[in-house]
Chain A
Amino acid sequence: MLEVRSLRKTYGDHVAVHDVSFSVQPGEVVGLLGPNGAGKTTTVSMIAGLVTPVSGQVLIGGEPLAGDTDPKKRTIGLVPQDLALYDELSALANLRFFGALYHLSADALERAIASSLQLVGLADRAHDRVSTFSGGMKRRLNLAASLLHDPDILLLDEPTVGVDPQSRNAIFDNLETLKARGKGLLYTTHYMEEIERLADRVVIVDHGRVVASDTLEGLQRFAPAGAAGASLESIFLALTGRTLRD
């Protein structure tokens, strides 16, 4: 459904993404794992059409995006790393605006808003200003805002940063629901346990390159010598080294 082929992006002399390829199938959660500055956000941005790759391709249903207004953009839902919400407006006003960007009719929009607020458990706070929300509520609204146009592929860029375990678990439940509905999820994070819980396959990137791409079991072959049943974290550190990145 989503296929990424040899993506490359440079900023001046700096190569943010060298060569990244992977795919996401319907009903599959792919974990995109990597240290700070590995190129995860840049990769996600290229998929969403925010950044133009220097070379390589993003194929959605086998075809590349053709410009800003390509209807195929409607099959993608982006959950940005930042809390991309208008704090001064109510949750409802935010969702009405973001939904209208996808040309939803008024009826369809109201229904979509109701169901996505329901999903993330914010239906009773719809009329409150986002500035009155807790960090966890904002994260959940950030997710809800990306679901209004019912995308087939969700790009989640660190969707659980700064939330308590309750909200985090609520978000996981939401994502499992979406997966069960047949959505394909690309899930970016630094948290190993999230990948262990959610991901069907893992793509580990470092310095803009894919260093491993496999199922959780398959990754065991990268485990440090003699460590049977190694944790994902020890495998990750074995693959990406221990040097600080920032």
Chain B
Amino acid sequence: MRPILAMVRKDLQLFLTDRRAVIMSLVAPIAIASFFGSIFSGNSNADRARIPVAIVDQDGSAISRGILDRVRGDKWVSVSTPTADEARAAVQKGALTVAVIIPGGFGDAAGRAFFSGANRPTLTMWYDPSHSTELGLVRGVMTQYVMESVSAEMFTGEQGRKVIDDTLASIDSMRLSGQQQALLRDLLQSARSFYSQATPAPADGATSTTPRRGLSMPYSVSEEAVTSGRNAAYNGYAHSFAGMGIQFLLFASIDLGVGILLERQRGLWKRLRSAPVSRVSLLIGKATSGSIIALMTLVVSFAFAMLVFGVRIHGSLAGFGLVAFATAVMAATFGLLIAALGKTPGGTRGIAILAVLMMVMLGGAWIPSFIFPAWLQQLTVVIPARWAVDGFDAMTWRGLGLQAALVPTAVMLAFAVLFGGLAVARFRWEEA
């Protein structure tokens, strides 16, 4: 026991005397995590960025104005009304996500098509291909408001009355069966008599800013971001600090591994091996000091995130502790593995840094893994950092209970056993 304690003490002394290493492992994760956190927090529920959409109204009809009014009131988009050329240029530059062109005659044509289904006018959308997901959202928004605006005008507006008159006049020339023509005539005549009795407002109602009622969406949507905690909300900082904490914890494990190689190179390992200390004790001593340094990194960066960015452990505190412990042990055994597989300190450091960066990138430490394509999400379960990130997410903003910490903890401890076993098997014990 005494030799193990002495090794831990000595490694901590060494760590603390290297001021640059201390700063590197404490300040760097905080700086980088703050950056990533600020990017992904912009996505929080409260101030979600609205999609910039342009409506180019080349029609100027009551229907097209009705569409514009309704879109302006939507919470998902911010609307501008440039000319067609300006809109196209802005989409190309990326300043606009979607531009919707309402062509001349759209209102009339849409009104006619509303009843007959024939000669539907075209609504053109120019979109930024780097935002193709938002196109779907804008299409949905437009569907709702075009339907509302056209139907409102058809049943209550001036333009609708004219369209109904025109349609009635042309029913005979439509390619419909006699019975269908008769039914459509009935429908339109009922609509016309509905106007003459039920329209209370004069014609200037068309310029009113509150759209009149027509068909409306037969439902409304109530949205709630679901995390299991009472007040938990997605917190980009919780995620980014976990991610960067893990990344720098793995960097600390590189220092552990390369440190062993340096000790060997300098002949220090000869002293360790000539003393009556077992191999297991030597590795446990190294892994323990590595875990402690790794945990310090993690604790400091989370403490910073809690104080400065209001990150909270909404889930189980014990679960958080378990995940942190398992992550540190996994990282320490990873360090031993680096020492076992490495040859020269310099070359090993280079390769190990690459491996760690790949690991944390694929583990979702930089960008949350739920953004990854499904196949990649499935593939990355073989990456220990992924479990660490998921475990910390579960215990912080997702607000899950101890139960949710158990699987990530167990998986990481299994990785630790694997890494540790490989390290013992491959470690070079001869000091020539």
- Residue positions of A touching B, CB distance < 8 A: 11, 16, 41-42, 45, 48-52, 68-71, 73-74, 76, 78, 80-86, 88-89, 93, 96-98, 100-103, 145-146
Contacts and interface: CB of A to CB of B under 8 A. Distances in A.
Nearest to A94: B10
B432 A45 contact: yes
Contact of A101 (B9, B18, B266, B275): B275
B135 to A, nearest CB: 59
B86 interface: no
Given A88-B17, A102-B276, A145-B271, 14 more contacts: A45-B270, A49-B273, A50-B273, A50-B274, A51-B431, A68-B273, A68-B279, A69-B277, A73-B274, A78-B270, A82-B270, A89-B13, A97-B6, A101-B276
A101 B13 contact: no
B5 interface: yes
B158 to A, nearest CB: 88
Contacts of A81: 267
Given A80-B267, A84-B271, A101 B6 contact: yes
Contacts of A80: 267, 270-271
Interface of B: 2-3, 5-7, 9-10, 13-14, 17-18, 266-268, 270-279, 430-432
A101 B278 CA distance: 10
A68 B277 contact: yes
A89 B10 contact: yes
A88 B270 contact: no
Interface majority SS on B: helix, strand, loop or mixed? helix
Given A45-B431, A45-B432, A80-B270, A86 B275 contact: no
22 contacts: A42-B432, A45-B431, A45-B432, A48-B270, A50-B430, A69-B276, A70-B276, A76-B274, A78-B270, A80-B271, A83-B266, A84-B266, A84-B271, A86-B14, A86-B268, A88-B18, A96-B6, A98-B271, A98-B275, A101-B275, A102-B276, A103-B3
Contacts of B279: 68
Nearest to B432: A51
A52 B277 CA distance: 16
Contacts of B3: 100-101, 103
B49 to A, nearest CB: 50
Contacts of A50: 270, 273-274, 430-432
B2 A103 contact: yes
B2 A48 contact: no
Given A45-B432, A86-B10, A101-B3, A68 B278 contact: yes
